Amino acid sequence: MTYSFLRLAAEALRGQTGWTPAWRDPEPKAEYDALVVGGGGHGLATAYYLAREHGITNVAVLEKGWIGSGNAGRNTTIIRSNYLLPGNEAFYEHSMKLWEGLEQDLNYNAMVSQRGVLNLVNSDAARDAAARRGNAMRLHGVDAELLDADGVRAMVPYLDFDNARFPIKGGLLQRRGGTARHDAVVWGFARAADRRGVDIVQNCEVTGIRVSNGRVMGVETTRGFIGAGKVGLAVAGNSSRLAGMAGMRLPIESHVLQAFVSEAIKPLIDCVITFGAGHFYISQSDKGGLVFGGDIDGYNSYAQRGGLPLVEDVMEAFMALLPLAGRLRVLRSWGGIMDMSMDGSPIIDRSPIEGLYLNTGWCYGGFKATPASGWCFAWTMAKDEAHPLNAAMRLDRFASGALIDEKGAGPYPNKH
């Protein structure tokens, strides 16, 4: 069923009784051409682009829970392409361009809102770094503006500009950045993939990967064995576990990242603001809640909940940036498990096992990458080689030394 104004009007007249489920709930078949493990944004986007770009429609997405139950429903919904390094910037800009056309493409309202992403700078050194990054972006044809303190004050006058510890000296603004509705993104991809014949199989946990003579044969699941010549893993924080089922060890650590939402207030923040000095980012949802987050807790974790020391740290940053936070109440907090890679950049690549592909290492920047990650992973799975956009996101870069260390932090996954 195609969604349109006419359909909406027709349904309004007959009491909304004609809507059908957005996607089918099929029994898994015994054999597929390709399997995608993980029904999050990246997995669903992969299946969608496999069908749309490469004509591979005999595909299933296997999800252990339900669509939107993992990190797809736990992020802070920010989209941007303000990266420095050549291996990253072209990829994230491709993602930004896909976001810009996504809703028409999927026939689904993902509420993509290009409200601007403003990275504040609090010191002369930070301004130099922001100028350098902005220039790198513009060399890649991406919009970037360096604002002085007055420019920032005109946009967001309610910040604590004269904070004694972190005075606001300016900011790097990407106007095309913004937010998207995270649940709608996965629902839209699931529906669009389903319409092209992809089976979305929920409540189907992969318990083993069958490999024979160095080739993948399929996966064992809680709903029986499913055969496939190509298997792509897009399982975020569970990447090490799934790769372990095929006998591989990855340069990944799983860490918990918390996010928060305040009670709903009247419109206040009309862009995304990030505060590098305290590592804090905030935007306002359409319902009015302030959505914000900070660092990971810093130790290996598979628990989808974090600890109070980090909560205190995030609230301190919030107060330092926006003293009005002291009058707000926090509505909810939650945690998601991040696949922290050793250089802070992702891996979209073949694995040493023929027919098994890896999509991992997103750290806590996976949401914005959703369309391009699926697009590039589909390309890699269909053609058995990387697209130029993900050519640098190789698994063997950790041995070759060609790391993509955006932050220059070294091999410490809890520092990215």
- Interface ranges with other proteins (CB under 8 A): 238, 240-241, 249-254, 298-303, 307-309, 342, 398-401, 411-412, 414
Minimum CB separation of residue 237 from other proteins in Å reads: 9
- Specify the residue, 122 or 239, whose C-beta has the smaller distance to other proteins: 239
| Cβ-based nearer residue to other proteins, 125 or 308 | 308
Which one, 229 or 298, has the nearer CB to other proteins?
298
Residue nearer to other proteins on the CB measure, 250 or 381: 250
Query: Shortest approach of other proteins to residue 164 CB, angstroms?
Result: 24
CA-based torsion, 101, 106, 107, 110: positive or negative: negative
Q: How far is the CB of 198 from other proteins (least distance, A)?
A: 28
Least Å distance between CB 235 and other proteins? Answer: 12
Residue 241: CB minimum distance to other proteins, A: 6
CA terminus-to-terminus distance, the chain: 43
* CB-CB contact of 227 with 31 (8 Å): yes
Our CB check for other proteins shows the closer of 164 and 308 to be 308
* Residue 396 beta carbon to other proteins: minimum distance, rounded to whole angstroms: 8
Q: Which is nearer to other proteins, 158 or 302 (CB)?
A: 302
Please, what is the minimum distance in Å from the beta carbon of residue 35 to other proteins? 22
Closer of 17 and 400 to other proteins (Cβ) = 400
Residues constituting the chain: 416
**Interatomic CA distance for residues 337 and 261, integer angstroms:** 18
Residue number, 76 or 240, with CB nearest to other proteins: 240
Report which of 368, 416, 344, 346 is spatially closest to residue 80, judged by C-alpha positions.
368
Give the residue with the Cβ less far from other proteins, 77 or 254.
Answer: 254
Whole-number minimum distance, CB 223 to other proteins, in Å?
Answer: 21
Q: Hey, CA dihedral for 338, 243, 190, 53, is it positive or negative?
A: positive
Smallest separation (angstroms) from other proteins to the CB of 102: 32
